[in-house]
Every structure is written in C-alpha cells, then in structure tokens.
Structure 1
Amino acid sequence: MPASGFAVIDFETTGLFPGGHDRVIEVAVVHVTAEGQIEGQRETLINPGRDLGRQDIHRVRAADVMNAPTFAEVAPRLVSLLSGRVIVAHNAGFDTRFLMAELARANYPVADPVVSLCTMQLARDLLSGTGRSLADCCAAYDIDLTGAHRASVDAYATAQLLASYIASAANPSIWGDSLALAADYSWPTMSAAPRSWYERPDGAQEQTASTFLGRISTRLPEITGPAQDQEYLALLDRCLIDRHLSAHEAQALVLLAEELGLSRHRCEVLHSEYFTALARIAWSDNVLTTAEMADLVDVANLLDIPADALDAALDQPAASLIVVTTAHFKLHLGDLVVLTGDMARPRSAWESELLSRGFAPRSAVTKKVALLVAADPNSLSGKARKARDYGIPIVGEVALARLASAFPLTR
C-alpha cells in the first residue's frame, strides 16, 4: 500500500499530565504529502468535561466548548485522519502521550507505539545552533506564528516547518523509513458514531438578552401571573450578580421561561421592569453616583434596554417607576464560599482574604454553600456542575472582590 504522507497534529490541553486528570480541549490535523506539500487542515474544540486550566495560555473559554463534542465523539474521524500517515508534532512525545491517553479513555487503546517524528528533535540535526522552541524553529525559516497556542496555528506552522525540513534535508531516507512503517501501521477500529467537528469561534460573543431571547417561544395568549414573573426575576437577579451573563446562565433563563410558560415578549417586559426597579434603587437617595451610573449602563447593555429608557433612568429621579419586589443577592458574614479554576490571584490569597472578611472558604460544593467563584463563570468543573444543580450563584473574581469589599477586614 502506498504511503499517504504525514499528519501534523497539535493539541491544546488543560495541563501537562495526560496520565492524570488533564484532558485535550482542542486538536488540529494538517496533512502533508511525502514530498512536503500541505494538502488539507482540520480542527475541532473538545469538551473535556472539566475545568479548562490556564485559559490565559490557550485562550479557550468554557462557553466555547459547551456544545463541542467529546474526545470519544471526535476519535473516529481523528483516527481516520491519522491512518496511514506519519504523525508529526513539535515535541511529539507530549502530543502522542495525550493521544494515547485520550484514546484509552474512549475505550480504544492503541497497543503498539505510533509512528511519529518530532520537529523539535529534528532541529538538532537540521537547524544546528537554533533554539528548540516552535517559535525559534519557525523564525529560522521565516514562518509566521501569529496566534500561537491555538491548535490550528501551531499545527499549520509545524507543517510548514516539516515542509522546510524535507526541502533542505540531505538524506531523504529519514522520511522514507517512517512513511513505510506508517503505511503498515494498524489503528483500532472505531465503532462509535462520529460527531461533526466544532471549530473555535473567531471572536468571543458577549451574552446579552438578544442572544437568548430568540430561543424563547412566542406564546399567545399569556398564561402566566405574578408568581411566575417573580420566579423568573429572581433567577435574572442571580444571573446578573457579577454584571455578566454566562452562556450557562442564558441557557438557564431560556429553560426557566419555557418551564414557566413565559413568552419572549413577557421576558422583555420583565427585563424592562427589572431595570426600572434597579434605577429606582439607585435614585432612592436622590443622588446618582458614578458607580451607580456605570452599573445602570452595564445592566442596560446586558438586557438590551433601549437607549431612550437608559437616558431617562440616568437623567431624572425615578419617583414614578414601577417597583419590582425581587430580593437582590448579598453575601452575609459566615457564608460558605467555594473557589474553582486557575485564577489570576492565587487561591490561597483569596481564601485568606475571605477568612479575614468573615466568610468561610470551603473546598467542596454542598447545598449550604452561598457562592461559587470560578476563574471562568462558564466553568465545566465538577464544582460548577454541582453548583448549577443546587441553584448556587457562580461569579468571577471581579464580582467576588466587589461583593467581599462591603465587609471590613478583621485581621
């Protein structure tokens, strides 16, 4: 059987330990012919079912992978893309270990070592005197690496690097031997039904009311009353604690509206009433501070409040505004607070501050916990899933700082 060429791969992962709890969150495959011609590229995000780790490195958000397939669901297509080809990666040991670990978790263990080449190791002979990083090797050939730590970017740059190696290598046998072995290599048979691959979105879409209202049915006539309104408003208030709507929170609002029989129009009315009540609270002392003004603008943007309604709320006291009786979330002394994810501030520092302000940091989520603080409010961690099941609010670090600052340091 003729050799098919090379399959250049790159994984983005939650961490560095494939044998432990770290998982793949993105994979890209670039096909390169035996002669060094790039002939195709595929990529997908992967839902790891856990927290995403250092998001500042790979820049994948939990909202990005919410609807992405699992590794088991992409494995059949991935194996077909690798079959008959030499696997190539920059630091191939890292990528092949993750590949083997993920296939084993998906109940498709690979018995024999895969046929692979490492562009980092090849640099010792083909780029003597150059650094070993992908950036260093690419710089030697003037290969663009803009947007590194995205699987598609790193894999494509590695494919270009491989093509440059092939063109410049004095001894072509280093490729021929590997190609022959790869052509005879047997991959496991994948019987699971594959899912469509799911590329990383080009930009982050900010969740606002307009991004989820379209998913709520239009019902006529209205069949709801004050009790349903208050239940929806209570959830809305909880979702807006940190003045941010996560994808999970938007989904929760849609599901509750459907469950309560609220129409899209009724939800829009409730959003307007909620904003009106917030404006009334801000004006209760007849002074609108800069912070209160900024808060009203934030909520207006999140709820897609019309500009004229925002202007009216900012320009005049709201003496005649509708009063909506929904309790606003507050922390209380002694509340249990749980942290999850790799935060910008060390978790130990947050726990010390929480203790000094009279709260009780905990490591596990129970029904008694008042608040979960996540590096990403859309976190897929087990703690976040349990908090959503219990109806516990989930906020980010900025919101925690604002909520905690109302309580003086005791030591």
Structure 2
Amino acid sequence: MDGFAVVDTETTGIDATHRHRIAEVAVVHLDPGGAVTGEWSTLLNPERDLGPQAIHRITAAEARLAPRFADIAGDLVDRLRGRVVVAHNWPFDAMHLRAEFTRIGLDTPFDEVAGLCTMRAASVVMPQSRRSLIACCATAGLPAMRWHTARDDAMAAGALLGHMLATAPGVVQPTAEHLRAAAWAWPELPRGVVAPAQRRPADHIEPHFLARLVERLPRDEEPVVDAYFAVLDDALLDRRISASDADALVGVATRLGLRRDDVLAIHHTYLRALAQVAAAAGERDRSDIDLVARLLGLDPVAAAGDPVHLDPAPTVGGLVLRPGDKVVLTGMMTADRDELTARAAAAGLRVMTAVSRQTRVVAAADPDTMSVKAREARALGVPVVDEAAFVRALDVLAP
C-alpha cells in the first residue's frame, strides 16, 4: 500500500438514507509510519439546507458557491486510490461517501470493515477515554484543533493514528479488508474540474455588494427603478442583506443598466422614505434607520432631505405579518419547529408545507439556504427571511 488516507466529512445530518449530504470533505495522507505527507479539503454545495450549522459552522453563503460532489469526485478518488482509508467513526463517513458516489453512478468498496476506524482502535488502546475524537486526542496528549472542520478533524484523526502506530502498532495494522479496499480498481475520472473551496477566515468581511457595480455604464435612456425598489424591500425585511439578496440586487441593477452612483441615489431615496414613514408613525428610535443605512452603504444622516414617496412605503422595523398570511418554514431552526409552528398558527398565520405565489415569506435558519423551499421561493419572488426576523414579527402579531 502507499500509506493511509485519513478522511473526514461534515454533513447536513446523520443519516445519508434521509437525503443528508456531505458539506465538507478532507483527506490527509500519512506514510506507513504515520507522518503527514499531504492534505486536501473542500467545502461542497449539498444542494439542500445545511442542517446542524451550530456544530459544523458552515454557512450557506460559503457552501452555495462551493463545488458539487460530482465536480470533485475525480480529485477525491485520486487521493483515496491505493491507500488504506482511515476515519474516526469510519462507518459514519463510509455511509456518506458511499451515498455520494452512488448518486453519481459509481460503486465503492466502502462497507463498514473497509476502513481503519481510529475510534474503535482507541477503545482498545485507551479504554479509559470517551469515544469522541476530541476526548481521544486529549487522552493521547495531542493538541486541540479547530474541531468540526473536515480538515482539522482529519488532521486530528491522522495524529491519533500516528500516536497509536508508535505506541500500539499491533492494534492499527491494516487488515485484509483494509488492503482489499486500498486495491480497489477505481475508474479514471476527470480531475481539476473545479478549484476546492475553503472556509472563510473567522475575521473575513465580505465587500459591500455596491463594490460589484461598475462606476460607469453606457445606456440609452433613464432606467425604470421600480424593480430594484421591490427587490430591495424584500431583501431588507429581515434587516440583513444575505449573499443571495446581494446577488439579486446586483443582478437587477445590472439588468436595468444602473451604475453605482444610480444605485446610491436609489438607496438615498429609499432611506429618506423610511425615515419619513418612521416620523409619521411617531417612531423616535433611529436604530432601525441607522441599521438600514449601514446595510445600504450610506451614512445614517442621509435619511434627511426632501420628502419622497414610494408605493408601497418601506416598513419601519422590517417584516410585518398579518393573520391569514401564508408562511413556510425551512431548515433546522434554533427554536423547536413544532413549537414555532404552533405559535404561528395560534397567531392566525397559515403555516404551509409548500411555497406558492401566495406565500408571504419563507422563514429559514439561514437565509442563504439551498433548500428546495428556498429555491422555489426565490424563483417565485417570495422573500426568504431569517428565523430571528420571523420570530420578531410573530412576537408583534401574537395576542
């Protein structure tokens, strides 16, 4: 064999048979002695909601632009070929890898005994330790990692294997089943189709979407901006501009032939209208206006100026729900889904299981989610808002 391929996957859920997918995969190469000789990892677009984001911390804004499994299958196979596969809780990773390869019509050797499981081996070498990768590494005296990222978890599992190769080599010697899987005749697949996608650094700040609009754009006539106002109003319902919202705003501005200075002027108009609606309603708290100003790339004092009229007028405070509105929930919410559904129904909302043109909003755990419901909502022009905005609107509506 050529050595070991230590793999780790971050997934949208536990059970691959329930349509859960891989959202990040990593492979770390070790030589037969346990030394690291290479690493590779990428985020994946799972083409569905991301599930337990509080655990893996992958955002939909990152994953939606990542490659799909089919795009990187050749790169992954190239890193598995000829090596004994290793994972901490191998049956879990085997199940998800097998399911992903099956979706693209590829057979694999990945049954439950095909890979070397460091969790199982650690239970023999250090029986006093709990089973988790974090606990096993701590018991072995290995350094802490950025847990629940595929790359660092694979590195940690590799370090744990190296520790056991040095201290109890008989426990982690490859079996006949491991070697059979290592010799699997993988087909030749295209490699380098797309570049791997990495997680954003913790301090990453996304450039404002205005930076993606050109300064000067030739046009034949003054553009009609109602379409931009409509998209802007939907984008600001939850008082944030998600990556999907930003794409939509840039897209409609480009289609309308709007230059960057045009869009800034439109933002000023929108902000002045919002300030006037707030004043007419007796609102003295400027925090909402200041927040919208920042989202639009403006100085909050820009809300002053001549009266303007937008039909419909911007809503102070964002999303407003009314009894009878149809709403749809998607993704793994922070709140219990059944409890949230019951609250919405008690407030007079109609909680639907499918999106239609009559849907008021889709409330999502992550507004950039790639769930089927969110994709249908965007196609129909239905706003997708985050859970916090939906709960705030529900609190106002609830008796």
On whether the aligned pair clears a TM of 0.5, the verdict is yes
- One-letter amino acid of the counterpart of residue 153, structure 1: D
The match for 2:140 is 141
Correspondence 1:160-179 to 2 at 5 A: 160-171=159-170, 174-175=173-174
- One-letter amino acid of the counterpart of residue 21, structure 1: R
> What whole-Å deviation, never above 9, does each CA across 1:270-312 have from its counterpart, x for those lacking one?
1122112212222235x5533xx11112111111113xxx246
CA distance in 2, matches of 1:21, 1:170: 38
Q: Is the 8 A contact 1:25 1:52 kept in 2?
A: yes
Distance 1:325 1:180, change over 3 A: closer
Q: Is the 8 A contact 2:365 2:386 kept in 1?
A: yes
Displacement, 1:115? Answer: 3.7
The match for 1:363 is 353
SS at match of 1:337: strand
Distance 1:221 1:77, change over 3 A: closer
Displacement, 1:87? Answer: 0.5
CA distance in 2, matches of 1:283, 1:88: 63
CA distance in 1, matches of 2:178, 2:398: 67
CA distance in 2, matches of 1:173, 1:380: 40
Displacement, 1:331? Answer: 2.8
- Once structures 1 and 2 are overlaid, which stretch shifts more, 211-220 or 121-130? 211-220
CA distance in 2, matches of 1:367, 1:149: 39
SS at match of 1:144: coil
CA distance in 2, matches of 1:173, 1:270: 65
* Structure 2, unaligned runs of 5 or more: none
- One-letter amino acid of the counterpart of residue 300, structure 1: A
Displacement, 1:244? Answer: 0.6
Distance 1:89 1:333, change over 3 A: same
> What whole-Å deviation, never above 9, does each CA across 1:226-284 have from its counterpart, x for those lacking one?
7x222211211110011111111100111111111111210111112211221222223
The match for 2:342 is 352
- One-letter amino acid of the counterpart of residue 138, structure 1: C
Correspondence 1:116-131 to 2 at 5 A: 116-131=115-130
Q: Is the 8 A contact 1:8 1:155 kept in 2?
A: yes
Distance 1:183 1:340, change over 3 A: closer
> What whole-Å deviation, never above 9, does each CA across 1:176-218 have from its counterpart, x for those lacking one?
86775455332233257732111111137566xx522232234
The match for 1:200 is 199
Q: Is the 8 A contact 1:224 1:261 kept in 2?
A: no
CA distance in 2, matches of 1:140, 1:111: 32
Displacement, 1:108? Answer: 1.2
Correspondence 1:61-72 to 2 at 5 A: 61-72=59-70
* Structure 1, unaligned runs of 5 or more: none
The match for 1:246 is 242
SS at match of 1:406: helix
The match for 2:364 is 374
Correspondence 1:157-306 to 2 at 5 A: 157-171=156-170, 174-175=173-174, 181=180, 184-191=183-190, 194-203=193-202, 211-221=208-218, 223=220, 225=222, 228-284=224-280, 288-290=283-285, 293-306=286-299
- Once structures 1 and 2 are overlaid, which stretch shifts more, 273-282 or 47-56? 273-282
The match for 1:401 is 391
Displacement, 1:81? Answer: 0.4
- One-letter amino acid of the counterpart of residue 95, structure 1: D
Distance 1:35 1:193, change over 3 A: closer
- One-letter amino acid of the counterpart of residue 75, structure 1: A
- One-letter amino acid of the counterpart of residue 388, structure 1: R
Q: Is the 8 A contact 1:108 1:190 kept in 2?
A: no
Q: Is the 8 A contact 1:10 1:28 kept in 2?
A: yes
Q: Is the 8 A contact 1:26 1:45 kept in 2?
A: yes
The match for 1:342 is 332
Displacement, 1:119? Answer: 0.4
Aligned length: 393
Distance 1:408 1:12, change over 3 A: closer
Distance 1:150 1:403, change over 3 A: same
Distance 1:112 1:51, change over 3 A: closer
Displacement, 1:353? Answer: 1.4
Displacement, 1:225? Answer: 3.8
> What whole-Å deviation, never above 9, does each CA across 1:1-47 have from its counterpart, x for those lacking one?
xx210010000001111123110000011111001101111110000
Displacement, 1:341? Answer: 0.6
CA root-mean-square deviation: 2.3
Displacement, 1:111? Answer: 5.4
- Once structures 1 and 2 are overlaid, which stretch shifts more, 177-186 or 229-238? 177-186
Displacement, 1:149? Answer: 0.9
CA distance in 2, matches of 1:51, 1:408: 28
Q: Is the 8 A contact 1:62 1:380 kept in 2?
A: yes
SS at match of 1:283: helix
- One-letter amino acid of the counterpart of residue 394, structure 1: V
- One-letter amino acid of the counterpart of residue 211, structure 1: H
CA distance in 1, matches of 2:264, 2:188: 51
- One-letter amino acid of the counterpart of residue 338, structure 1: V
Q: Is the 8 A contact 1:138 1:161 kept in 2?
A: yes
SS at match of 1:387: helix
CA distance in 2, matches of 1:121, 1:276: 64
Correspondence 1:71-150 to 2 at 5 A: 71-110=69-108, 113=111, 115-150=114-149
